[in-house]
């Protein structure tokens, strides 16, 4: 709780130079912890989705099956590490012998890591967490969610649009749930606040098979991914897989 209070204090406005330097160091330490924990997990496919849909919900089963099929391609499944559809994705990976990792966020009502993670890291700041979720991924899967899911989706979309990261595919599952969002994106295209080509690497689908083929083409073939893509640990840095 003290960590949350310190962040709120920082966001109120300019602090002393010491406090701002201290905050900068804390952010640096967060990044280093995240990099060390996740350096050997990739290549990943990251799932963005809600923590609020339980095991009996149709979205849970859809996410679980999708993650299983994508894990079979050799990808590590990465999520925010929490419950709901994040758990479903991690569970789907584990059930087929795939790798499963999470970037867990520290919240006032603490979010605990789900039971299907091989490895996870706890992160204090959302912007650090989003960086880690994006950094190791060769595709992004958007399943039903709320503000956080949309924030992560548009972060990935903006980074690919502006070419701050490579043009990795983004797949939106469940056309009905995202109907209003898709209409708004179409409206942006009509009003020319985005370009038609900005949407080239977005696939909207209800088909897991179609999503798998899209990833094969736009990730595996395009970036020539193989098992050799994973780096080896350096003993002098005390690294381990």
What is the Cα 182 distance to its own chain's centre? 20
pLDDT at 3: 56
Residues 3-44 pLDDT 10s: 556 656 666 777 788 888 988 999 999 999 999 999 889 899
What 8-state DSSP symbol labels residue 240? -
The answer as to whether 187 is a domain residue is yes
Residues 54-86 pLDDT 10s: 999 999 999 999 999 999 999 999 999 999 999
The answer as to whether 13 is a domain residue is no
The answer as to whether 126 is a domain residue is yes
Counting the structural domains of the chain, the total is 1
Query: What's the longest Cα–Cα distance across the chain?
Result: 55
25 membership: H or E segment, kind and range: helix 17-38
Burial class of residue 65, CB neighbours in 10 A (0-12, 13-18, 19+): middle
Full-model pTM: 0.89
The answer as to whether 2 is a domain residue is no
What 8-state DSSP symbol labels residue 177? T
d(CA 121, CA 202): 29
Domain CATH number, residue 48: 3.40.50.450
Write the secondary structure of 75-143 as one string of H (helix), E (strand) and C (coil). Answer: CEEEECCCCHHHHHHHHHHHHCCCCEEEEEECCCCCCCCCCCCCEEEEECCHHHHHHHHHHCEEEEEEC
Residues 130-167 pLDDT 10s: 999 999 999 999 999 999 999 999 999 999 999 999 88
Of 35, 34, 26, nearest in space to 2 by CA: 26
What 8-state DSSP symbol labels residue 232? P
User: In the block, which residue shows the tokens 């972060």?
Assistant: 155
Contact 180, 38 (CB under 8 A): no
The answer as to whether 237 is a domain residue is no
The answer as to whether 16 is a domain residue is no
Contact 36, 239 (CB under 8 A): yes
**Confidence check: pLDDT of 235 > 80:** no
170 membership: H or E segment, kind and range: strand 170-173
Quickly state the pLDDT bin for 1 (edges 50, 70, 90).
low
* Residue 197 domain boundaries: 41-227
The answer as to whether 109 is a domain residue is yes
Q: From residue 168, give the alpha-carbon distance in Å to each of 22, 42, 51, 188.
A: 35, 14, 25, 21
The answer as to whether 23 is a domain residue is no
pLDDT at 9: 64
């Amino acid at each position: 709780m003290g960590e949350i209070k310190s962040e709120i204090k920082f966001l109120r406005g300019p602090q002393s130079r010491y406090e701002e330097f201290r905050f900068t160091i804390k952010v640096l330490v967060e990044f280093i912890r995240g990099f060390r924990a996740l350096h050997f997990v990739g290549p990943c496919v990251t799932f963005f989705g809600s923590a609020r849909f339980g095991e009996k919900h149709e979205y849970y089963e859809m996410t679980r099956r999708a993650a299983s099929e994508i894990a079979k391609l050799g990808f590590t499944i990465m999520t925010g590490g929490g419950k709901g559809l994040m758990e479903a994705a991690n569970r789907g990976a584990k059930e087929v012998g795939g790798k499963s990792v999470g970037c867990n966020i520290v919240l006032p009502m603490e979010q605990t890591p789900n039971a299907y993670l091989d490895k996870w890291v706890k992160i204090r700041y959302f912007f650090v967490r989003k960086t880690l979720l994006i950094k190791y991924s060769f595709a992004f899967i958007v399943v039903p969610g709320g503000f956080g899911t949309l924030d992560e989706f548009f972060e990935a979309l903006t980074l690919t649009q502006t070419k701050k990261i490579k043009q990795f595919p983004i797949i939106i599952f469940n056309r009905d749930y995202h109907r209003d969002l898709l209409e708004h994106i179409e409206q942006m295209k009509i009003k020319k606040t985005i370009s038609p080509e900005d949407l080239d690497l977005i696939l909207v689908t209800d088909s897991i098979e179609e999503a798998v083929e899209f990833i094969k083409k736009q990730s595996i073939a395009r970036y020539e991914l193989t098992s050799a893509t994973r780096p080896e640990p350096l003993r002098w840095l005390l690294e381990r897989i």
